[in-house]
Chains A and B, each alone.
Chain A
C-alpha cells in the first residue's frame, strides 16, 4: 500500500470520511503523518472560528471594562476575571457537564455536548476574555494627543471610535494579540482530553498523536510530528498577523513602526 493510498484513506479521517477503522498494527510513518495532519483540521477549525468570533466580543468587553457606568464595567470585569482566573481545562469540563445536564431538560442543547459546538463556545468565551484584557490595556494607552486631535477635527461618537480610537487600539494591541492567537491555537489541543468525546474517533491532532503513542509505546515519532505541524501552524498565524500588523502601521514613519515580537508561549 503506497503512501498515496494512505492519504486517500485517512486524509479526512478526522471528519469521518474515508476508512472507518484506524490502523491497529504495523504503523508506518506515512500513516502517522497523515492521521495527525488530518486531526489538524479540527485544531484549525476551533482556532480560526474562536479567534474570529472572539474578536468582536473582546472589543465589546474591552469597551465595557473601560466604561464609566458600573452597570457595564462590573460584568466585563467579572467576565474577564472568571475566564482568566480559572484553568481552561476546568472550564471545558464544567461546560461539558453543564450542557450534559441541560440536555436532560431541554433537548435543544443536544449539539452543545458535541465538541464541534460545545468546545467552540468555551474557546470563544475564553479567548474573548484574554484578548479583551489585551484590548483594554491598549485602550488605556492610546496617546492623549490622538484623541484631542480627533476632537479638534470635530470627530464625535461612532465616527471617532471607528476612525481613531479603534484602529489605534488595534495597532497598540496587535503584538500581544498575535501571542494570544498562538496561545489559542495551542489550547485547541486540549479539547478532546477534557470530557468532550471524540465521536467515532474523529479527534484532533493530539488525539491521534497520543493514540499512536499509546499503541506503540514510543512517543518519539508521533509527538515530534505533532510538534512539526504546530510549528507550521504557528508560523502561518504569525505570518498572517504580520501582514495585518503592517497594514495597521502603514501610516507611521519607518522607524517607529512596531515590530512583532514573539514571546515564549505559556499555556493557560
Chain B
C-alpha cells in the first residue's frame, strides 16, 4: 500500500520541513501524555481540596481581597483582609476553584480530547468516505442526490447543528476501565475513562460531509484512470473496483483531511463542553467553561486548558501539512501521464 516512493517523499519533506518536526514532536508528546495519564498526573484530577483552591501557576502571585463579617465586641464588623496567595511546587499549574490540580486535569483532558478527536474522525470517515466514493464512482443521479444532501449539511454551521443534536438526545456516556488503575499501578486515580458518547456521535455526524466531498472528488478522478477501465473490462464488479482501485488511490487526501479533522473536532468538542454539552467533567473545554466565571480573579483556570488546545491543534495541523506536502502526487509522486 505504501510504495517506496511515498516513503522517499515523506523523508524528503521531513528533512526540508522543520515545522513538521515540531508538529510530530507535539503530537507524540500529547499522545504519550494521554496514554500514560494515570502515571504522569500528580493528583487525582477529580479530588478536591478547598483550602488549596485557586492557587496560581508557578511564577505568579495572586493577591486576594476578602471581606468577612465578624462579631467583635458584640457588634458586627466588616473586616477587609488582603491576603497574598503564593504558587507552590505542589501545583505547578495551579488549581481551580475546587482546589483540583490543573496539571492533572490538563493531562487527563488530553485523553478526552484525543479520543473524541480520533473516534469522531473515524466515525466521520466511516460515514463520509463510502458515500463520497459511491457518489463519485456512479455519478449521475446517485451523485446528485448524495451531494445535494451533503451541501445542505455543509450549509448548517456545524456547531449549531451539534448543539441541536446533543440537546435532542440523551447524554450517553461510555465508561472504559482504566488499565493502569485496574493493574494497580495508579490506585488513587479515577477508575474509569469516561467517553462522551453522544458528543462523539454528533461530531461524527456533523463532519462526515467533508470526507464525502473529498472522497467523491478523488473517486471522480480515479474512475477515469485506465486501470479502472481495465478492471471493468476484465469483468470486475463495481464493489471490487471501488475497494481495490478507487479507495486505495483516494487514501492520501482522505488521510490528510483526517489529521486536520482531528484538530477541528477537538475544537468542536471544546466548544460543546464550553457550552455545557459535555458528557464528562474531564475535558479541556469543560475546564474553560468552569474558568469562565473566574477570568478576573483566577485567569489560569481557563487559560491553561486553552493553551493545551492551541498546542494540540497546532501540532496536529503541522502533521497534516507535512503529510499533505509529502503525499501530494504533484510533487513527483506516482501516477501522472506524459513523458
- Are the chains A and B members of one assembly? no
